[in-house]
Amino acid sequence: MKVSKRSKENFKKVDSKKDYKINEAIDLVKGLSNCKFDESVDVAVRLGVDPRHSDQMVRGTVVLPHGTGKKVRVLVLTKGAKEEEAKEAGADHVGFDEMIKKIQEGWFDFDIVIATPDVMSEVGKLGKILGTRGLMPNPKSGTVTNDISKVVKEVKAGKIQFRVDKAGIVHASIGKSSFDETKLQENLKAFLSMIVKLKPSSAKGQYVKSVYMSSTMSPGVRIDRNEVAAL
């Protein structure tokens, strides 16, 4: 694969053997974000867990203080009075039967699905469709709730979901390269603090094995694990 001149120059600016302090990593990643569009700033955390065991499954949510910089499209699956509550809270799509039918027909014009407990027996039928895309509502992630207004507002304000993958890595977008250093640092610390907090009691040895930050088009910058552990 042909590597662009810009990419070659960016790789030269990153010391692959160095563990960068959080503020250094943010400054470097912002400096590497030199495309014509506002790149996302992403974080990948490799954990010392075995996701095959349910008691080592790391998943959760966190409200980023400054949001992700992305417009989040929210779908609420519910019936009755909760529909109006969801609309007033700012949900982009609200309903049930008609929404279920559209999803079954291949519609996915949304980023997150929130549902009330009373409809989950029917929503469960969409498991194969929504589950493979990581969109299935789940009580553990807070997306199955009767407090629709609160959850919709949190998601719109910057609440993100995360889940460790089969390789033991948690991925998340924590902002845009146009964010200033303070906003990115506060978002990053909020995310990493939650990861540390969710350490399974059954996880043995080194929990946080590595943390890399990058923008959409930049190489990864490794963050000092000791600084993460101290959060």
What are the tens digits of pLDDT across the range 154-190?
999 888 889 999 999 999 999 999 999 999 999 999 9
Are 79 and 151 in a shared domain? yes
Considering only CA atoms, which of 35, 58, 60 is closest in space to residue 47? Answer: 58
* CA–CA dist 85, 81 (Å, integer): 7
Are 168 and 143 in a shared domain? no
- Does residue 11 fall inside a structural domain? no
Are 63 and 164 in a shared domain? yes
Provide the token pair at 121. 């027996």
Provide the token pair at 162. 């995360």
pLDDT, one tens digit per residue, over 113-163 is 999 999 999 999 899 999 988 899 988 888 999 999 999 999 998 888 899
* CA–CA dist 79, 3 (Å, integer): 52
10 Å CB burial of residue 34 (0-12, 13-18, 19+) is middle
- Secondary structure of residue 121 in the 3-state scheme: helix
* Contacting residues for 188 by C-beta, under 8 A, at least 6 apart: 22, 26, 43, 174, 213
pLDDT, one tens digit per residue, over 55-109 is 999 988 899 999 999 889 999 999 999 999 999 999 999 999 999 999 999 999 9
Considering only CA atoms, which of 70, 80, 219, 60 is closest in space to residue 156? Answer: 70
Contact 29, 215 (CB under 8 A): yes
List C-alpha distances in Å: 124 to 43, 100, 137, 200.
31, 11, 9, 27
pLDDT band per the 50, 70, 90 thresholds, residue 229: confident
Are 133 and 200 in a shared domain? no
In percent, the amount of the chain with pLDDT more than 90 equals: 71
The chain-wide mean pLDDT, for the chain, equals 91
Nearest-10 Cα torsion for 19, 22, 28, 33? 120
Residue 144 DSSP one-character state: B
- Does residue 23 fall inside a structural domain? yes
- Does residue 199 fall inside a structural domain? yes
Contact 175, 69 (CB under 8 A): yes
Phi then psi for 124, rounded to 5 degrees?
A: -55, -25
Are 204 and 133 in a shared domain? no
Host H or E run for residue 22:
helix 22-32
Could you identify the residue written with the tokens 């080194």?
A: 206
Query: Residue 214 is part of a domain; what is its CATH number?
Result: 3.30.190.20
* CA–CA dist 45, 213 (Å, integer): 9
Are 143 and 104 in a shared domain? yes
pLDDT for 24 beyond 80: yes
Directed axis angle between helix 22-32 and helix 181-197, to 10°?
Answer: 130
Range of the domain at 170: 17-67+159-229
Are 170 and 201 in a shared domain? yes
pLDDT, one tens digit per residue, over 166-176 is 999 999 999 99
The whole model's pTM is what? 0.78
pLDDT, one tens digit per residue, over 190-206 is 999 999 999 999 988 89
Phi then psi for 224, rounded to 5 degrees?
A: -60, 120
